[in-house]
Structure 1
Amino acid sequence: MRANSLRLGVVMGLVALVMAVLPLLKGELIVAKHEGDTLHLADLVLRMAEAGQIPHFDFMTPLGILSIWPIAVFVQAGLGIGMAFLAAQAALALVLFGPILRTALSRFTGWFAWGFAAYVIVLVLALVHGEANPAISVSMHYNRWAWALAYIAIPLAMLEPLGPRRPLLDGTLIGLALAAMALIKVTYFAAFFPAIVIALLARRDWKTLLVALLAGLTVAAAVTGIFTTRFWFAYLRDLFTVATSATRAAPGLSLGGILVAPAYMAGTFAVLASVIFLRQSGAMVAGLVLLFLMPGFVYVTYQNFGNDPQWLILLALLALGLRPETTRTNALGIRLDQALLVAGTFALALGAASAINMIWSPFRLYFSTAEEVVPLLSQRPQHHDILVGKPRVYRVVMNQMGWDELDTYSDYVVPLGDEDTPPLAINGETLADCELSTGYNAWFETTARTLEGAGYGGSGILVADLFSALWLYGDFKPLEGGAPWYYAGTPGLDVADHVLVPLCPTNLPRRAEILKAIETGGWTLSEEMRTETFILYRPSKG
């Protein structure tokens, strides 16, 4: 039985309203983990909103412009970055309200339509990216947004509508969803585009496929018209840089691990079982498309930090919603309706912890008490609405390798986790293997004050570390061509006035990689200033 459109729309609106408004009523966004990712997001957004920079042209990032621009718009409108983040999510939920409702009503029956609609709203408005850790985080918001778009495009392409086909509407929604994925995080577009095309071809829905392609190309043409073709080449350059990076090509388990590691093997079995049982029950197209979706599911999970399989809830809805109404059995005598019930319930159970975590996250923020929290962007009062735990950003914890401190361990040097790598040296000076694990604000604030006091205010400084957010804490220029999150190469070095080398960086391998790239590029570093926490150099070519 099809869900009642009015009732479903009202309930969707209530869910969206509660999840969007509660955090805004709180008036502050209290982040409890991933402070580094939050700093990265602030750097990206404020480069666009305050410095007028454009992703890929003016700074390196593999993230698409639509992962940043919606937040930057609200910052430009006068909101602090915390409220701007929440407002951007609310705006996206409003934009996607109609497409979610169309997908739920036309592709799912009964309670499955209700569950689908509610979960996609949750994906847009949650305040944690998933997993089971309940701490509030803005990290990887773009993954949730891209998953929400995938949840719309995949069922529209894969499932025959419950009523008459509407190729103009469905094709437009599919094409726009795919285009938005490409402009948020291209991984999702690359992973799901082939299966979506196969789905429409298998269903012989030629008109919808044509409209989808035209809609996607229209978006591409519009972006080209605004930014010129250089935008796409710059985007591809950034993506290639990350894909070939030694430190960030894959941020978690190996691809094989996503298939057979203990935490993921059950999900692999669930999707394979669903493919088999759907095909045996007569849902040939759905089973075929699900088989082609599986590599995309695995790849996106592999490529995202945390390796959270957000596709499990979609799998559960498909398996449960496509059960045959007859008591049909397979060659082994297994009733296929019951087999799909088991497979769908199994997938639902596997994805439940992550789903519940996201559902509850806005309530968790609203009812939280602000104890021992401070503004992340301490030097920017207009953005004091995003708060973090004081101990996590001001308690300085440094991991110092034993062989640098004690002669007892001098025979056991294994720098940077590789016994074949010599200790990192610059201008003949060996740098200690030290890494800063907490205390970002303490480091940035003291470094900024020291540099300003020494007369370096107003300069462009390349920080040889994971983050280059020094400009957020003092009078410094956001380095044009720089990388808010370092991946590879020497981004921004051509225009940098100085190179700052932390003696205890937030990420040892990144410091080593950027210094090696500077040396390989034929640059010379001349020391200008030294403190107990950093060395400042002036770069010159040759």
Structure 2
Amino acid sequence: MTKSNTTALIAFLCAVLVAMAGAAVLKGGLYVGKHEGDTLHLMEIVLRMAQGQTPHLDFMTPIGALAFWPIAMLVKAGLGIGMAIIWAQTITALIFLPIIVWIARNRLSPWVAALFGLCVIVLLLALVHGEAKRSVSISMHYNRLAWAAAFVAIVAAIVPPRTPTSGNVDGVIVGAMMVVMAMIKVTYFVPFALPVALALFMTGQRRTLCVAVLTGLVLMAGITLLTGVDYWTAYARDLIVVATSEGRSAPGEPLVAIMGSPAYLGGSFLAVGAVILLRQGAAHTGGLILLLLLPGFFYVTYQNFGNDPQWLMLLGVLVLALRDDVMVAANKMGWDIRAALGYVAAMALALTSPSFFNLAYSPFRHFQTDVTSYSPILPRDERHADLQGFTIRLERVDARVALGGQVAGLTPSVDRDPVVEFRGEIYPPCGIELGLARYIDTMVRDLETAGYADGTSVFVADLFSSHWMFGSFEPMDGGAPWYYGGLPGLRDADYVLVPFCPMSTLVQTKVFEIMDEAEVPLSEIRRTGLYILYSIDR
């Protein structure tokens, strides 16, 4: 690009950044409309890290530390968690801005560069994870960050510079982006590492490849010096636990459906069509690397809740960029290959437009939120009152209960979760669907009134053990902000809390099975209409 085009690109991206980040910052808080459980998960990890704890070593999570570290550092510096989330995203976007410009200016045409930069900035600054549902949600923010890093690394690798460069800066950027993926979510790093390395090699960016590998090794060595070698074994252990978990190894549609079900088949056809057209146009390297990227695109989509194929944005950018490598004007059917690739890119962008516009518009929708309809998620923590949820969803406690087998005349379904017995108590199927935060808060207040919550820790037979954030409990050493398996933190717990109506009956049943197998010695010490509290006999 010319100097004037580069200046225009910078101005455009700055305008997008200022508009999106400004709308979020000026609201003065974060007001989420759904996914309160995921929000509690984020809050617990951030608060633990702000206290000086290290993920994997001090508590279980398959998500890398970098997903939460910027937020935790801002909380540690004194910000409320709501504004810390918003400022962390803004700072991250500011860091990415010169990286985007550097990669785009010598690789992409002005319009494609603007599209590429827009996609990355929107991913970084959105206040929803994607899809087409309008409610603001900070759930799975780490997926957006990892996609942004993947976009940068893949574009830099598959589209070589138009004029020769030393490759040093490009290598540092690619290496850093790969480490970012590894330190946010390994399921991005693993499927994209080999295609990115092959793309750099096959496009003649071999010095860039060497510098990228060296940068990655240096950064990983620095992390090891800060955290110790045990950090990596603990990280690997958490990943293995999740991969073998019955409930969370894949949080959505099966992999085959991600490739071939009605909602995804159009994107799959477009991707394969792009590969064929690139190969017919003698853009062999681009076509091959795009083909190698497809399994990663499918796998990452499969691993992410909601199964939103955000790779379609990247597909549009790559196809438009690789059109310049086409050496054959028309294929055997007489199609103009460059024009056909343009149609493929347009269709890919059209397919992803509901998700993209939802991401892009979310800060402005959030800015217009009527805050009188929201309440703090942590009602007794004034500092973090800047993170709020929709009052109806917080205060209205709804549950899903089984009527079959419980009401005369209704026989139980053979497919329904069975009635579970644990330590002589019968637990009919029941699951909280709404009001989780207030449900937890009510139990914590009752436990405090009864004298059980003064500096003690509690293991909860449920998906979350976040009760310590709502009162005077302490977090468990080795606990899990989100349950994946085993009995994480039980060794440090003073009590076991069993809700009669958990967030996840599957998790509660699994906890019961493991406790019975381990013969954990328990004594009932309190019972209310909401829970049973056991002491651990040691």
TM-score (ref. length: structure 1): 0.96
Look up the match of 2:221: 221
Amino acid in the other structure paired with 1:44: I
Alignment of 1:60-75 (within 5 A): 60-75=60-75
Q: Pick from 451, 456, 461: which aligns with 2:452?
A: 456
Alignment of 1:147-158 (within 5 A): 147-158=147-158
Look up the match of 1:363: 364
Amino acid in the other structure paired with 2:449: G
In the comparison of the two structures, how many residue pairs are matched?
535
In the TM superposition, what is the alpha-carbon distance from 1:376 to its structure 2 partner?
A: 0.8
In the alignment, the residues of structure 2 paired with residue 226 and residue 384 of structure 1 have an alpha-carbon distance, to the nearest angstrom, of: 32
In the TM superposition, what is the alpha-carbon distance from 1:21 to its structure 2 partner?
A: 1.7
Matched, 1:425 2:421: yes
Q: CA 1:412–1:118 in 2, change beyond 3 Å: closer, same or farther?
A: closer
Amino acid in the other structure paired with 1:191: P
Matched, 1:299 2:295: no
Question: Deviations for 1:139-189, whole angstroms, at most 9, x for unmatched residues?
Answer: 111010111111110011111112213311111100000001100111110
Q: Which runs of 4+ in 1 moved over 6 A?
A: none
Look up the match of 2:514: 517
Native 8 Å contact 1:320 1:345 kept in 2: no
In the TM superposition, what is the alpha-carbon distance from 1:326 to its structure 2 partner?
A: 7.2
Amino acid in the other structure paired with 2:506: P
Alignment of 1:525-536 (within 5 A): 525-536=522-533
**Deviation larger for 514-523 or 31-40:** 514-523
Matched, 1:465 2:466: no
Q: CA 1:411–1:56 in 2, change beyond 3 Å: closer, same or farther?
A: closer
In the alignment, the residues of structure 2 paired with residue 160 and residue 299 of structure 1 have an alpha-carbon distance, to the nearest angstrom, of: 26
In the alignment, the residues of structure 2 paired with residue 516 and residue 496 of structure 1 have an alpha-carbon distance, to the nearest angstrom, of: 18
Give the SS at the match of 2:371: coil
Q: CA 1:225–1:101 in 2, change beyond 3 Å: closer, same or farther?
A: same
Q: CA 1:389–1:254 in 2, change beyond 3 Å: closer, same or farther?
A: same
Native 8 Å contact 2:463 2:503 kept in 1: yes
In the TM superposition, what is the alpha-carbon distance from 1:414 to its structure 2 partner?
A: 4.2
Native 8 Å contact 1:67 1:142 kept in 2: yes
**Deviation larger for 247-256 or 401-410:** 401-410
Q: CA 1:263–1:524 in 2, change beyond 3 Å: closer, same or farther?
A: same
In the alignment, the residues of structure 2 paired with residue 42 and residue 411 of structure 1 have an alpha-carbon distance, to the nearest angstrom, of: 38
Native 8 Å contact 2:281 2:327 kept in 1: no
Q: Pick from 492, 495, 502: which aligns with 2:492?
A: 495
Look up the match of 1:419: none
Q: CA 1:326–1:239 in 2, change beyond 3 Å: closer, same or farther?
A: closer
Native 8 Å contact 2:150 2:177 kept in 1: yes
Look up the match of 1:439: 435
Amino acid in the other structure paired with 1:284: H
In the alignment, the residues of structure 1 paired with residue 327 and residue 296 of structure 2 have an alpha-carbon distance, to the nearest angstrom, of: 31
Look up the match of 1:8: 9
In the alignment, the residues of structure 2 paired with residue 107 and residue 263 of structure 1 have an alpha-carbon distance, to the nearest angstrom, of: 33
Look up the match of 1:409: 410
Alignment of 1:303-318 (within 5 A): 303-318=303-318
In the TM superposition, what is the alpha-carbon distance from 1:501 to its structure 2 partner?
A: 0.5
Give the SS at the match of 1:341: helix
- What runs of 5+ residues in structure 1 fail to find an aligned partner? 417-421
Q: CA 1:411–1:505 in 2, change beyond 3 Å: closer, same or farther?
A: closer
State, as a whole percentage, how many aligned pairs show the same letter: 44
Native 8 Å contact 1:38 1:138 kept in 2: yes
Look up the match of 1:349: 350
Look up the match of 2:132: 132
**Deviation larger for 474-483 or 433-442:** 433-442
In the alignment, the residues of structure 2 paired with residue 412 and residue 135 of structure 1 have an alpha-carbon distance, to the nearest angstrom, of: 34
In the TM superposition, what is the alpha-carbon distance from 1:445 to its structure 2 partner?
A: 1.6
In the alignment, the residues of structure 2 paired with residue 198 and residue 389 of structure 1 have an alpha-carbon distance, to the nearest angstrom, of: 47
In the TM superposition, what is the alpha-carbon distance from 1:506 to its structure 2 partner?
A: 1.1
In the alignment, the residues of structure 2 paired with residue 212 and residue 317 of structure 1 have an alpha-carbon distance, to the nearest angstrom, of: 23
Native 8 Å contact 2:9 2:110 kept in 1: no
In the TM superposition, what is the alpha-carbon distance from 1:118 to its structure 2 partner?
A: 1.5
Question: Deviations for 1:487-516, whole angstroms, at most 9, x for unmatched residues?
Answer: 111100111111100000111111111121
Native 8 Å contact 2:104 2:113 kept in 1: yes
In the TM superposition, what is the alpha-carbon distance from 1:423 to its structure 2 partner?
A: 2.5
Give the SS at the match of 1:224: helix
Question: Deviations for 1:242-286, whole angstroms, at most 9, x for unmatched residues?
Answer: 000000000000000000010000000010000110111121111
Q: CA 1:411–1:78 in 2, change beyond 3 Å: closer, same or farther?
A: closer
Look up the match of 1:243: 243
In the TM superposition, what is the alpha-carbon distance from 1:193 to its structure 2 partner?
A: 0.3
Matched, 1:330 2:327: no
Matched, 1:474 2:471: yes
In the alignment, the residues of structure 2 paired with residue 502 and residue 162 of structure 1 have an alpha-carbon distance, to the nearest angstrom, of: 62
Amino acid in the other structure paired with 1:376: I
Question: Deviations for 1:319-366, whole angstroms, at most 9, x for unmatched residues?
Answer: 123225777111222221121112111101001111111111111111
The alignment yields a C-alpha RMSD, in angstroms, of 1.4
In the TM superposition, what is the alpha-carbon distance from 1:20 to its structure 2 partner?
A: 1.1
Give the SS at the match of 2:479: coil
